[in-house]
Copies of this chain bind each other. A is one copy, B any other.
Amino acid sequence: MARTPQPISGFPEWLPAVRLEELRWIDAIRATFERYGYGSIETPAVEELDSLLAKGETDKEIYTVTRLQGDADASEARLGLHYDLTVPLARYVAQHYNELEFPFKRHQVQKVWRGERPQEGRYREFLQCDIDVIDRDELPLEYDVEMPVVLHEALTGLGIPPFRIQLSNRKLLHGFLQELGIPNPVPVARILDKVDKVGLDGIHSMLLQHGLKDPIARRCMTLGSIKTDDESFADQVRELASSTTPNEMLVKGIDELAFVIRSVNDLRPGAAVVDLSIARGLDYYTGTVYEMRLADFEGLGSICSGGRYDDLAGSFINRRLPGTGISLGLTRLFAKLVAEGLIPSERSSPADVLVVLPSEERRADALAAAAALRERGLNVDSYLKPAKLGKQLQYASRLGIPHVWFPPFEDGRPHEVKDMASGDQAEADPASWRPA
């Protein structure tokens, strides 16, 4: 073939230095999930197409999977790559219902695939990091509080520019729309959700086109402009609804959202904000909804989504299984920071030390030194070709390996270790040396 391969559009791939940092993120995020008691599950990359098409806003994004030289095997299910981790979770809970403990808390860190046209922030393959809790019959609102608290903690310390998790509530939105005399709120909520894509003017004309009168459309848009750090959104909503006896759904939505923002503020001040522009296009959310944006990169859109769903697993099993969850679009966030030069890339090796091989005669000493250092848990790369020392030092330097180890040049002489940052070189014992 011998033509240089080209990247496949929409399928990101990192060089080792960037991947090292991505792994550090994944490890840190998982550690936080586990610190809150969320165990891992993994589901297959594929689901039956019927499952994938049962929920979700669109079917055009699905990749189907077919054997290149498949038999005409009628028993073979039609399969598609999962486009999120929520539908697989619902299927998993339904399938393993009798083997799971409830409340069922799980985290899931896996690739998902969508056949979208690739553009900035949109990938065809990307990594999602999800937590969800599902319980039987009833799930306390306190779990809606836990989602943003855990996710915010998971992302803290990774060097991400300022971000806050945005909270809204589907009951509030639907109740408000009912208050305005809009009997079927879902299509209107979907329009409001497109503000990122089409802007306020776009929303306005879509609402008019949908048949709303201008003053009604403007009140919808005013609702979407409400953003508060605390419960003060509640009075603004009540005033805008201008009803002395608001409907039950609106009251419940306001109460839930007030509880969630108050509780998040108690547990993790500043982690979240109420933002009523958040609607979430997917129609399975029934209460709290989440999104997240980077303050410095609003144009990137939401890098996190989630919310309360009361009937998702129920589409696979005849049980009421309410759940709540939050999902981080890690690739979208991470790739943006890579593009902005905000991801460090000095190191591309996990090694703490490179043991050089000055000459063939010193091979046994070099291997023994490497083994002694590894024995004590250090990550050690060992140069196995007796190349020129300059070349070996350059290799360490280019990979960002912070220390280079020299086995003794003559028997009986001590080992030496060089600190690549300072250039200092000193005697060291492989049985006791530790990096500073």
Interface, chain A (partner B; CB < 8 A): 1-8, 11-16, 19-20, 23, 34-51, 54, 59-70, 77, 79-81, 91-92, 94-97, 99-101, 103, 105-106, 111, 113, 115, 125, 135, 138-140, 142-143, 146, 267, 314-318, 348-351, 354, 363, 367, 371, 374, 377-382, 384-385, 395, 398-399, 401
User: What chain B residues lie within 8 Å of A54 (beta carbons)?
Assistant: 1
Say whether B4 contacts A316, CB under 8 Å.
Answer: yes
Shortest C-beta distance, A35 to chain B (Å), equals 5
Q: Given the complex, which residues of B lie within 8 Å of A14, measured CB to CB?
A: 41-42
Question: A125 and B46: CB pair below 8 A?
Answer: yes
Closest B residue by C-beta to A68: B62
Measured between alpha carbons, how far is A24 from B94 in the docked complex, in Å?
26
Are A44 and B125 touching (Cβ within 8 A)?
yes
Select A351's contact among B15, B37, B316, B401, beta carbons within 8 Å.
Answer: B37
In the complex the two chains form, is A40's CB within 8 Å of B19's CB? yes
| CB neighbours of A45 from chain B (8 A) | 11, 45, 81, 111, 113, 125
Residues of B within 8 A of A13 (CB): 42-44, 92
Most chain-B CB neighbours within 10 Å: which of A23, A46, A54, A59?
A: A46
Contacts of A384 in B (CB 8 A): 103, 140, 142-143, 146
Shortest distance between the CB of A140 and any CB in chain B (Å): 5
Smallest CB separation, A331 vs chain B (Å): 11
Task: Say whether B350 contacts A34, CB under 8 Å.
Answer: yes
Q: Closest B-chain residue to A27, C-beta based?
A: B27
On chain B, the residues within 8 Å of A135 by CB distance are 385
B42 in contact with A316 (CB, 8 Å): no
Could you pull out 18 A-B pairs where Cβ atoms are within 8 angstroms? A2-B314, A2-B315, A11-B44, A15-B96, A16-B39, A20-B40, A34-B350, A34-B351, A35-B380, A37-B382, A45-B45, A60-B68, A61-B68, A67-B115, A70-B115, A101-B348, A101-B398, A143-B384
Q: Which of B15, B66, B103, B113 contacts A63 (CB 8 A)?
A: B66
Q: Which residue of B lies closest to A33 (CB)?
A: B350
Besides A1-B315, A142-B363, 20 other CB < 8 A contacts?
A5-B316, A7-B95, A16-B106, A19-B40, A34-B379, A35-B378, A35-B379, A37-B354, A38-B350, A44-B125, A45-B113, A45-B125, A60-B68, A60-B69, A63-B68, A64-B66, A68-B115, A103-B384, A103-B385, A146-B382
A85 to nearest B CB, angstroms?
13
From B5, B48, B65, B77, A95 is in contact (CB under 8 Å) with B5
Q: A54-B1, A60-B68 are in contact. Are A46 and B11 (CB under 8 A)?
A: yes
List chain B residues, Cβ under 8 A from A125.
Answer: 44-46
Give which listed residue, B46, B66, B382, contacts A66 with CB less than 8 A: B66
User: Cα distance A13–B316 when bound, in Å?
Assistant: 17
For A127, the closest partner residue in chain B by CB is B42
CB distance from A40 to the nearest CB of B (A): 5
